[in-house]
Amino acid sequence: MMTAVTQLRISAKNLGELARPDFCPRCFWLKTHAKRLPFQIFPGIFSSIDAYTKRVIHAWMDKNGGAPFGLGELGRITGYIDPPSHHSFRMEVPEHDILFTGAPDGILTFADGTIAIIDYKTARYTKTQDKLMPMYVVQVNGYAAIAEHLNFGDVSKLALVYAEPVTDHDTAASPEIHTEDGFAMPFSVSIHPVDLDLGMLEPLYKRAREIYDLPEAPDGRVGCEDCKKLDKLVLLAQGR
């Protein structure tokens, strides 16, 4: 039994977990209390590709002005702001004793003085089938709230920038992809605009705080068998 009276530190992405259709309050409680869970290995290659996407866009803008791909559809882009890290990109939400953090992938500036928050996703782009979309929507709205709080500018646009590897047979067989020391893989970029709705955050802060303050882990998601498997493993390890 534990009592949570401490500040809840949560990232915009983790707050977005609450908006997922398969959200599990037990998982959320465990993650927010344990801080780091074992066996959580996320392949670093995706972060590397996201960072590379950012460098490609910034390099293109430095050289040509404006914006590459379909980013210009968001508005008249004049440049970018180097995105800050989660060490400084944060704000207090005193009503719920929450420290809300984030690390936006991209901040673009518009001719009218407003800004756009963008986030890179190394993934196949499907307009409607990404079950993580509700989480991403909260994530970028969360970044927008922090950006405005820190006076980066008024946020007028949000977007997800999907970079999807092009891996079809014809591309793999084309001579251009072969290099001296290996091969290149092209990426197809799609822009997914997201509605700006900072009002969605308040009920999520409240819900996050409620779950965090529970004295013990709540029940898990109906139908998820993994907790049962974990219980079996614990019994096995105890020789029972």
Q: Which is nearer to ligand SF4, 99 or 224 (CB)?
A: 224
Q: How far is the CB of 58 from ligand SF4 (least distance, A)?
A: 37
Q: How far is the CB of 127 from ligand SF4 (least distance, A)?
A: 27
- CA-nearest of 64, 149, 48, 150 to 105 is 48
Contacts of 127 (CB under 8 A, 6+ apart): 192
Q: How far is the CB of 225 from ligand SF4 (least distance, A)?
A: 8
Q: Which is nearer to ligand SF4, 9 or 33 (CB)?
A: 33
Q: How far is the CB of 32 from ligand SF4 (least distance, A)?
A: 12
Helix ranges (H only) for 126-212 are 133-149, 169-173, 201-212
For ligand SF4, which residue has the nearest CB? 220
- Helix/strand/coil percentages in the chain, nearest 5: 40, 20, 40
Q: Which is nearer to ligand SF4, 37 or 184 (CB)?
A: 37
Q: Which is nearer to ligand SF4, 86 or 221 (CB)?
A: 221
Binding site for ligand SF4 (CB under 6 A): 24, 26-27, 30, 220-221, 224, 226-227
What residues are paired with 101 via a beta bridge? 11, 90
Q: Do residues 99 and 8 touch, judged by C-beta distance below 8 A?
A: yes
DSSP state at residue 83 = P
Please state, in angstroms and as integers, the Cα–Cα distance from residue 122 to each residue in 49, 101, 209, following that order: 7, 22, 31
Q: How far is the CB of 217 from ligand SF4 (least distance, A)?
A: 8
- CA-nearest of 148, 66, 60 to 104 is 148
Structure tokens at 146: 């922090």
Q: Which is nearer to ligand SF4, 29 or 89 (CB)?
A: 29
Q: Which is nearer to ligand SF4, 95 or 226 (CB)?
A: 226
Q: How far is the CB of 27 from ligand SF4 (least distance, A)?
A: 4
Q: Do residues 140 and 117 touch, judged by C-beta distance below 8 A?
A: yes
